[in-house]
């Protein structure tokens, strides 16, 4: 089965692509044309007078941005209490708040670029099936509350025996409800689910978002925004005041370079003396392949996002015990409106990111596993055969602590990063774009959990 993403399917196939045909200079060079690159370009152009050149090795939105689940969500794939352990309560809370504020930034991009593509916002659900998961969520919520973050009470089924073992310190952070309320919200009859968390969610085609914002920027800033696709940057050489980018047959000279490349596997960075910059830090971004499948139905249900946490898993980033997640949205296909339901299947860590190729087929056994999950958990006719019109996969670049890298390279501020896509990266990419624009504007920012560290 081919790597066939519903997001790429909706892109404009007639769009004319320009590649770099001469040596150029630009105030800022942004490398990578996914949602991080376009958001970075958007905020720099809007909030400064700098010229921006966006360089993409392939086509806009064809990386992780075109192969994700398209769920807009503001959680980290790391328990909040782990972030607090690593960074302290104040910094972890500020980091979480920044990602939550990115909803507003995304709204600004949508409105200012005059977009009319579907972007739905609603309350989404996460279902939990073990007492350990309940305690982990409550522990996070207590810390969130201490950090001044918004906390919604966890719904816990009033028929479970273990409810009497919930420590008193968590009182006020949960409510007991009939289990049917939980199962109805999770759209399941599977009685394993005993608790439910609610949070703000959304769905969008982030590749289409990227393409449309690029079209807007080209029109709005014809003298300051330049876009070159199929222009791979092999190497960046950093000097004290500027950088030279080697784009195969041509060069780009820029005062600042922002890497929005999702990782470092296809680019080399040197300082002027010829030394490669901090390879240990760069190689710490490891690859995870995520697989998705999607099917169409009549358009009868509202948009939704649900995660189902099974087994003993007590944190979001436990690869050995994957969770299953589902989004549903309005989707136009062959000029008709449908519901597109997308399912997140098992993820796979790969030791060397270079081993991943977008052209790889989607493994049939993964579709079977995902389909089994669907029939076990989701309210559909158990005898119904689901036809997956779309099956796709994408590569995520995971940072060691699950937090996106946003900021200046500690060894040379000519270079900045907005990368490390992780499994949740739409809002973090947008937040990153805004933060990079502030840095380029010269604003003094307080230290954050996103700052690249000299390792």
Ligand X SMILES: Cc1cc2nc3c(=O)[nH]c(=O)nc-3n(C[C@H](O)[C@H](O)[C@H](O)COP(=O)(O)OP(=O)(O)OC[C@H]3O[C@@H](n4cnc5c(N)ncnc54)[C@H](O)[C@@H]3O)c2cc1C
**What are the residues binding ligand X (CB under 6 A)?**
31-37, 55-58, 62-65, 67-71, 73, 206, 232-233, 260-262, 266-267, 290, 292, 394-396, 419, 421-426, 429
C-beta of 259: minimal distance to ligand X in Å?
A: 8
Closest distance to ligand X from the beta carbon of 100 (Å)? 13
Buried (b) or exposed (e) across 139-151, using 16+ Cβ within 10 A?
Answer: bbbbbbeebebeb
If the CB atoms of residues 118 and 153 are measured against ligand X, the closer one turns out to be 118
The number of angstroms, rounded, from the C-alpha of 389 to the middle of its chain's C-alpha atoms is: 23
User: Token digits for 416?
Assistant: 């900045």
Q: ∠287-37-11 over CA atoms, to 5°?
A: 90
Provide, rounded to whole angstroms, the least separation between the CB of residue 31 and ligand X. 5
**Among 205, 422, 78, which Cα is nearest to 431's?**
422
Read off the tokens for 144.
């969130």
C-alpha to C-alpha distances, 235 to 172, 245, 269, 281, nearest whole angstrom: 54, 6, 6, 17
* Number of Cβ atoms within 10 Å of the Cβ of 329: 26
Q: Which residues contact 110 (CB under 8 A, 6 or more apart)?
A: 119, 209
Looking at the Cβ atoms of 138 and 247, the one nearer to ligand X is 247
Q: Are 326 and 371 in contact (CB under 8 A)?
A: no
- Choose between 402 and 425: whose C-beta lies nearer to ligand X: 425
The Cα–Cα gap between 154 and 88 comes to: 24
Number of H helices, E strands in the chain: 10, 19
H-assigned helices in 124-194:
131-146, 179-185
The two structure tokens encoding residue 441: 């504007």
Kindly state the helix (H) or strand (E) to which residue 26 belongs, with its residue range. Answer: strand 24-31
Least Å distance, CB 206 to ligand X, is 6
Residue 382 burial (10 A CB sphere; 0-12, 13-18, 19+):
exposed
Beta bridge partners of 307: 126, 325
Pick 73 or 96: Cβ nearer ligand X: 73
Report the residue number, 183 or 213, with the smaller CB distance to ligand X. Answer: 213
Q: What are phi and psi of 115, to 5 degrees?
A: -80, 150
Cα separation of the two ends of the chain: 41
β-bridge mates for residue 192, sequence order: none
Specify whether the CB–CB gap between 435 and 450 falls below 8 A. Answer: yes
Nearer to ligand X, 130 or 339 (CB): 339
In the complex with ligand X, which residue's Cβ is closer, 135 or 389? 389
Q: Which residue, 41 or 92, has its beta carbon nearer to ligand X? A: 41
Q: Which two tokens stand for residue 300?
A: 């009868």
Q: Which residue's CB atom is positioned nearest to ligand X?
A: 425
Quote the least distance from Cβ 303 to ligand X, whole Å: 13
Whose Cβ is closer to ligand X: residue 72's or residue 83's? Answer: 72
Place of tokens 């925004």: 225
In the complex, what is the shortest distance from the CB of residue 174 to ligand X, in angstroms, rounded to a whole number? 26
Q: How far is the CB of 72 from ligand X (least distance, A)?
A: 6
Q: Which is nearer to ligand X, 69 or 439 (CB)?
A: 69
CA–CA distance, 91 with 87 (Å, rounded to integer) = 6
Instruction: Find the shortest distance in angstroms from Cβ 350 to ligand X.
Output: 12
Q: How far is the CB of 94 from ligand X (least distance, A)?
A: 20
Task: Provide, rounded to whole angstroms, the least separation between the CB of residue 163 and ligand X.
Answer: 32
Q: What's the min distance (Å) between Cβ of 243 and ligand X?
A: 13
Nearer to ligand X, 71 or 79 (CB): 71
């Amino acid at each position: 089965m081919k790597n066939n993403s519903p997001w790429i399917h909706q892109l404009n196939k007639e769009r004319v692509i320009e590649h770099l045909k001469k040596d150029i200079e630009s105030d800022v060079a942004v490398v990578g044309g996914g949602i991080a690159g376009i958001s970075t370009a958007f905020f720099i152009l809007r909030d400064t007078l700098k010229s921006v050149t966006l360089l993409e090795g392939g086509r806009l939105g064809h990386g992780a941005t075109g192969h994700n689940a398209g769920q807009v969500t503001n959680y980290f794939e790391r328990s909040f209490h782990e972030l607090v352990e690593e960074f302290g309560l104040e910094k972890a809370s500020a980091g979480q708040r920044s990602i939550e504020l990115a909803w507003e930034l995304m709204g600004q991009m949508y409105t200012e670029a005059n977009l009319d593509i579907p972007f739905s916002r609603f309350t989404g659900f996460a279902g939990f099936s073990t007492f350990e998961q309940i305690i982990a969520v409550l522990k996070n919520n207590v810390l969130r509350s201490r950090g001044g973050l918004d906390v919604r009470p966890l719904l816990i089924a009033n028929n479970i025996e273990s409810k009497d073992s919930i420590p008193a310190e968590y009182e006020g952070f949960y409510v007991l409800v009939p289990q049917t309320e939980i199962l109805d919200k999770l759209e399941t009859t599977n009685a394993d689910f005993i608790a439910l968390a609610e949070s703000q969610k959304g769905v969008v085609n982030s590749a289409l978002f990227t393409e449309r914002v690029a079209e807007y920027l080209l029109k709005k800033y014809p003298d300051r925004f330049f876009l070159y696709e199929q222009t791979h940057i092999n190497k960046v050489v950093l000097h004290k005041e500027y950088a030279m980018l080697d784009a195969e047959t041509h060069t780009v000279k820029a005062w600042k370079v922002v890497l929005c490349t999702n990782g470092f596997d296809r680019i080399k960075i040197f300082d002027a003396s010829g030394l490669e910059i901090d390879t240990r830090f760069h190689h710490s971004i490891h690859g995870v392949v995520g697989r998705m499948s999607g099917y169409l139905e009549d358009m009868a249900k509202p948009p939704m996002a649900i995660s189902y946490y099974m087994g003993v898993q007590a944190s979001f980033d436990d690869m050995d015990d994957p969770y299953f997640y589902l989004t549903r949205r309005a989707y136009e296909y062959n000029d008709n409106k449908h519901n597109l339901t997308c399912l997140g299947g098992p993820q796979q860590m790969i030791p060397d990111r270079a081993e991943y190729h977008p052209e790889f087929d989607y493994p049939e056994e993964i579709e079977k596993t995902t389909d089994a999950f669907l029939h076990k958990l989701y309210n559909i006719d158990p005898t119904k055969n689901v036809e997956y019109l779309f099956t796709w996969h994408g590569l995520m670049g995971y940072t060691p602590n699950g937090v996106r890298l946003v900021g200046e390279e500690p060894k040379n501020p000519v270079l900045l990063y907005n990368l490390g896509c992780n499994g949740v990266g739409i809002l973090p990419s947008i937040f990153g774009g805004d933060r990079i624009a502030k840095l380029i504007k010269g604003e003094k920012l307080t230290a954050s959990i996103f700052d690249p560290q000299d390792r």
